[in-house]
Amino acid sequence: MNTTSSMPVDLNVLARWMDQQGLERGTITQARLLTGGTQNILLRFRRGERDFVLRRPPLHVRPEHNRTMQREARVLTALAVSEVPHPALVATCASDDVLGAAFYLMEPVDGFNPVVGLPSLHAGSATIRHEMGVAMVDASLALARFDYVAAGLTDVGKLDGYLERQVQRWRTQLESYRDYQGWPGAGDIPGIDAVGQWLDQHRPGGFVPGLVHGDFHLANAMFRFDSGRLAALVDWELSTIGDPLFDFGWLLATWHVPGQSCAASLRVEPWNGFPSVQELIGRYQAGTQRDTSDIHWYAVLACYKLGIVQEGSYARAFAGKASPDVGARQHASAVALFQRAQAWIEHGLPQ
């Protein structure tokens, strides 16, 4: 059993808890941390004849971390009877008495993340890469169709004023970065005021609620090794009940457009074969009865929100709470996202 000091989870305690849940027997072996774009801890291990993945908050737990973990587990439980590709939940612990934080166990996903690298089958086939892009749209549609009321998730999100509060919510987030000493402010982010004003002036009049993943892009997708089909959407920590068109807008905002800058961390190579933005939109429109006349707005909002989130890493770097290199990359990405938002406001979505 791996009990090294570098392991952020007490495996002996975990094994005793698993005994109580009837989850295999014997020594926990092959424990290894999985990396990803999250601060949460992901630990893969084997016990008996079965592999597991444990997900828990960071070591320095804040109250909202436990609530987030519990919400994730609820959503994954509800998705078990859905068509949405997701990791299968095995068991959950809402208490922090066992490992110091709420956590859950899930089945490992048999798949790969495309931003890490494409296997030879996918790298060698533009047809399969096109299938991957289509699969992302279809997953977004499946989420939008999910009956969250029947699944008992009506209390997961706050729908009153949902669209109205978006711009101010993220503008307040941006202003909070002034608490990080040394951050020079957002003065060199192009159009930050103009984009916010445009969003407020062109806000849709209403929406049909649904389940929202909250961080819907290629870095949070695992694909099958034998095809372009999705194996699972991962990292459900931002999931909520809201407007499902937010997820599709997020996909567009993070999608590679030749000749336009985008977050390098979300790039997939080779790119040829992946659908264009207009192909993604056409696929979505063909598969939904929702009003898609404001897709433009959702894509610009996603640029606005993600740009502000990424600027936070830059601000934290000045206070020594993030790597300067990471902060600089995130700032460059924030600038690129606002440039994209301005271009899309002026010229429309790319063809």
pLDDT for the residue 302: 97
- List of residues 6+ apart from 117 with CB closer than 8 A: none
Residue 28: exposed, middle, or buried by beta-carbon count in 10 A (0-12, 13-18, 19+)? buried
Outline which parts of the chain fall under CATH 3.90.1200.10.
Answer: 120-347
**Angle at which helices 166-176 and 295-318 cross, to 10°:** 10
Q: How far apart are CA 75 and CA 156, in angstroms?
A: 9
Peptide bond connecting 63 to the previous residue in cis, omega within 30 degrees of 0: no
Annotate 91-108 with three-state secondary structure: EEECCCCCCCCCEEEECC
pLDDT for the residue 263: 64
Buried b vs exposed e over 17-26: b needs ≥16 C-beta within 10 Å? bbeeeebbee
Q: Which helix (H) or strand (E) holds 181?
A: none
Length of the chain as a residue count = 351
Calculate the dihedral angle through the C-alpha atoms of 254, 238, 178, 312, rounding to the nearest 10 degrees.
-40
Outline which parts of the chain fall under CATH 3.30.200.20.
Answer: 11-106
What does the radius of gyration of the chain's CA atoms come to, in whole angstroms?
21
Q: What is the pLDDT along the chain (351 residues), one digit of tens a residue?
A: 444 456 889 999 999 999 999 999 999 999 999 875 457 899 999 999 999 999 999 887 777 889 999 999 999 999 999 999 999 999 999 999 999 999 999 999 999 999 999 999 999 999 999 999 999 999 999 999 999 999 999 999 899 999 999 999 999 999 999 999 999 999 999 999 999 999 999 999 999 999 999 999 999 999 999 999 999 999 999 999 999 999 999 999 999 998 777 665 678 999 999 999 999 999 999 999 999 999 999 999 999 999 999 999 999 999 998 899 989 999 999 999 999 999 999 999 997
Give me the amino acid identity at 288.
Answer: T
Tokens of 59: 């070591």
The domain defined by 11-106 folds into Phosphorylase Kinase; domain 1 (3.30.200)
Distances (CA, A) of 3 to 7, 12, 13: 7, 8, 11
Report the CATH number of the 120-347 domain: 3.90.1200.10
What is the side-by-side strand order in the sheet with 50-56?
A: 28-33, 41-47, 50-56, 103-106, 89-93
The phi and psi torsions of 307 (rounded to 5 degrees) equal -60, -40
Q: Which helix (H) or strand (E) holds 56?
A: strand 50-56
DSSP per position, 295-328: HHHHHHHHHHHHHHHHHHHHHHHHTTSS-HHHHH
Pairing of strands 28-33, 41-47: antiparallel
What's the DSSP call for residue 276?
Answer: P
